Structure 1
Amino acid sequence: MVSKGGHAKLIRPLLYILDLFIISFSAYFFLTSKIIDLVFFIIFWIFLSIFFSFYKVYRFTKIIKIVSLLTSQCFVFLLLIFSYLYIKHIDISHNLVFKFSINLYFVFILWRIILHIIFKKYRIITGSNYKQVIIIGANESTQKLEKFFKNEPGFGYKFMGLFTNDESTNKSGNILDSFNYILENNIDEIYCSVKELSNKQIKRYIEFCDVNVKTLKFIPDNKELYSKNFYLNYYDITPILSLREIPLDDPLNSVIKRVFDVLFSGIIIIFVLSWLIPILGLIIILESKGPIFFQQNRPGIKEKGFGCYKFRSMTINSSSEISATRNDSRITKVGRFIRRTSIDELPQFFNVFFGSMSVVGPRPHLWRQNEIYGPKVPKYMVRHFVKPGVTGLAQVRGYRGEIETKEDIVNRTKYDIFYIENWSLILDLGIIFQTVLNVFKGEEKAY
């Protein structure tokens, strides 16, 4: 079986590190050997890369686009460096400045083009790091896209089939057949021609892809679809609309969040759990028989199960798939205290440290809740596009604990999706701060 390339997410962070090394080495060789100056140069580059979206380069991005981004980035970067040197009155000859500028720009141009070619050749030769795709609809635009997928294997797409209700077209099946095919063949991305679909069919594909955690993209025409919040890219000359852009799909953002998770959870484990576990563990055991920790299998990212840890707050019972309710008789005396203060959740920082959870994200629900709400609540399954969190935006906005009404789960889902589509490290820090504040203020639904 051909590998889909599990290490693809490491490429962009490694690229970032290598770029910073090139900048540091060039600046050290041509301009200055002072560490503080080199640190400022690195900060300039990182700031500009965010401003220009310099690392938002995808498998379908053309070389001309890469060169354009690089030119803008390097030009402003060099202006910042020379302004910095001028303000600090660092005397460097014009000859060295010119050599540094030319060297940096052309090294980056050469490095980027070679890398782009290497990745394309690598995908062709090994068949690795590909996405399995299908097309819905038959017309001139879908023919161009199919040709692109078949003739450009270096971009990393494996065309699996075309589905349409047009009987005169050579196809893999009709539109209705596509739903089972997607699940049976582990399709990654679905490309729908808006011309071929009614609004009802478009809505069904959106809901289907949300529930089954698939990527849905549209080949547009003049329908009202343009009025929605879509993201436009081009595959060769074919325009493609992406339904949503998830910041954590960017490997660089993913690495930033993971580094933060490891550091934050490590601090909690070393400075809090190291002494809290033996003390609280003894109290839990003295009050009721059973283990210190309660482990429960819950759905995580891509709906993959993982063992979620908590301090045990209930007596041993056979109703673990039933959420705690107000005045629940299963909860022990110490359990009421640790649940009210959210101390029972602290062992989940072990989950964070080892990678099955994040500090901030949608709270992991019970499997039973997924079965109940997945088919009923629109976009509920989008929650599984990212790792679940110890805390989350929905929780700090008052939608934690027991789900008493339909409004509770609908609003919780809305907040979770807003978080997923608008993630930033600043947002995470704000949620963490609000979580700590809520612990001290007390929360009505913390029981």
Structure 2
Amino acid sequence: MNAPVAVRPVVADTSGVDDLLVAPSRERRRLQCYLALLVGDVISLVIGFCVIGYIFAAWEGVGDSLVHVQLILPIFVTLGLYNGAYSIHALREAWTGIFRAMLAIVIAMAVVIFVQFLIKPDTDFSRSVFNGGALAAMLAMGWTRLQLRSFVTWRCGNSVTNELIIDDGGPQVKLRGAIRISAAAMDLRPDLKDPNALDRLGLVMRNIDRVIVSCPAGRRVDWAMMLKGANVDGEVLDDEVARLGAQGARVVGNHGLLLVSAGPLGMRDRAIKRLFDLAFAGAAIVALSPLLIFVALAIKLQDGGPVFFMQRRMGRGNRFFNMYKFRSMTQSQCDSDGNQSASKDDKRITRVGRFIRRTSIDELPQLFNVLLGDMSLVGPRPHATGSLAGEKLFWEVDHRYWQRHCLKPGLSGLAQIRGYRGATDHESDLVNRLQSDLEYLEGWTIMRDIKIIFLTLRVLVHDRAF
């Protein structure tokens, strides 16, 4: 027979339970807000269609409109629940909820039209009532949701979730609207061998939606294990993640991997950007061909030297490529490595060169780099490998410098339209343009590229081009 197992009794300390509750529950209040949004959307849908139906066909049109509502409503509610029209994000940001609700209506309309076409192609279908009713319903829905913001604020306050920061001796965390407590003051310990410690932590985290623990590295594992059974979204502060610039994490086997780099553009965005580059650069070369020929002849007649100046620059993926420019310096004094930046009274610059540099015409041959795929119309400007900011090489000034090479370099960029161009006499001259380049990498859209191109026209002639 097996020997009996000795069980040590555990006596729970239930004194001061109410004192351990740090926040009232918001879950029921959020549900009330979701229900209010849903009821408001349904009423808006009905009113919108009925009003338009009455305008077009009096009470008979109202009856037809109610039929449309019966078809759209279940599809709309299903899509709204799925796409986050009734979610925490919708409660936090009114326009986020409005946009998602509008999207649900549009998709529901498309489904109804498709089904009616397949099942009853000969049915008398009033497009005016249907489209007008949907538009009126969307307008009513947007107005209703904006009016319900006061109800959401009344029920949930400024923050729709309870976020708790437990300070256990780690770095200070600043999070707007979060509740902050001291682990020492509340007698909270990450002790997995003490059920009383687990119970006490559970009482503190009652009604909490998200917990952040700031503690020394040696206690992170214990706190992580404590949070795993707490039925909350739990996070443990680790500043190494910020130092590495981690964008995500995953577990492979027994190893934890941090995602520290990713291509800023997916395949679809790269295709759009490339097609735009080809179309614009090709059209620009054709349109500017008389100017290109005229400048080429002027440079040739100046001193008989080559028309183009080719310099090795670093492009996407930290790969070198040959960048083309109109030659603006005397042939014998061209600086192929870029070790010496041009100055205001630089004796190396020719008379033609001074004009084409000041008007940025010397950069036009880079349109051919765009066609070849080495460059893009918009992106971080490529720098010569020997370029200096003050007394330091560019990458010695800021270790983030190499991050700008995750995209193709551009003829123009965010830094250029902000005026950060020309000579880099001081380290701050590089830091300013680097910050703009990194900002451009954070969120690419084709509309942003088009905007930068048009804004570039304002800075083609500038006083920092020597």
**TM-score, scaled to structure 2:** 0.48
**TM-score, scaled to structure 1:** 0.50
- In our comparison, the structure showing a higher alpha carbon Rg is 2
